[in-house]
Structure 1
Amino acid sequence: MEPAAASAEAFAVRRYPVAPGCRLNVRSGPGTNYRLVKVLPYDARVPINCQKPGETVTGTYGTSNLWDNIANGQYVSDAYVNTGSDGYIAPRCS
C-alpha cells in the first residue's frame, strides 16, 4: 500500500445514519436549551467526534442523555442517531 493511501485510510471518518424521516436539530451544546445551529436534512449521516452527557431526550432509538459532537460547537442527541449502541461509541468530549 502506498503511504498516501495508508494515511488517507487512517483518517477515514465513520458516519452514522440519523433516524429515517427526521430532520434533526443541531445544537451548540448538549441540550435543547442550547442555541439551534442548523437542521440536518432527511437521510443525513453524521460523524461522531466525541460524546458527552447532557439533557435526557427520548427519540427514535430510545431515551438517552448522550449527545454526539458532529463538528466544532455542533451537537445532536444520540437518541436520534443509529450507532448500534446505547452507550459511548466515541471518546468523551473534554
Structure 2
Amino acid sequence: MSVDHAEAAAGDGGRESLAAGATVRTYAVAPGVRLNVRSGPGTNYNLLYVLPEGSRVPIFCQTPGTAVTGPYGTSKIWDNIDNGEFVSDAYVQTGTDGYVASRCA
C-alpha cells in the first residue's frame, strides 16, 4: 500500500494550545499509517519527515492541492499541521470528507 505522508506531531488529549491562547483540535492519523509530512499541499512538494503510526495532528487550516486516495477516500484537501508542514486529509480521521478548519491564507 502506497501511503502519502505529510504531517506534524500533535499534542495530548486531542487539543493543542496556540500562542494566542486559543486551542486547536487534533485528529488521529489512520490506524497503521506512517504519514508523510510535506512542505506544501501536494505530493510534488518536498518530504520533510514521516509521522509514526498512532500519531495525532492539529489542523490549523486547510487548502486544496494534489488529489490523494487513502483510507478515508480520495481528497484534494491538505491539512496544515504546522508552519510549512502539510498532510493529505485522506489519511486523517476528521469525520467528514469536507473542510473542518478555515482555508489557509
Pairing 1:37-52 to 2, within 5 Å after superposition: 37-52=48-63
Matches of 2:98 and 2:60 in 1, distance apart? 15
Which structure: greater strand fraction? 2
TM-score (norm 1): 0.88
Pairing 1:22-61 to 2, within 5 Å after superposition: 22-61=33-72
Structure 1 position 14, deviation (Å): 1.1
Which structure: greater helix fraction? 1
Aligned residue for 2:99? 88
Unaligned runs of 5+ in 2: 1-20
Matches of 1:69 and 1:22 in 2, distance apart? 18
Matches of 2:25 and 2:102 in 1, distance apart? 14
Correspondent of 2:82 among 71, 74, 87: 71
Structure 1 position 12, deviation (Å): 2.7
Matches of 1:12 and 1:55 in 2, distance apart? 28
**What is the root-mean-square deviation in Å for CA atoms of aligned residues?**
1.3
Larger radius of gyration: 1
Matches of 2:24 and 2:69 in 1, distance apart? 27
Unaligned runs of 5+ in 1: 1-9
Matches of 2:96 and 2:32 in 1, distance apart? 20
**Segments ≥4 residues shifted beyond 4 Å:** none
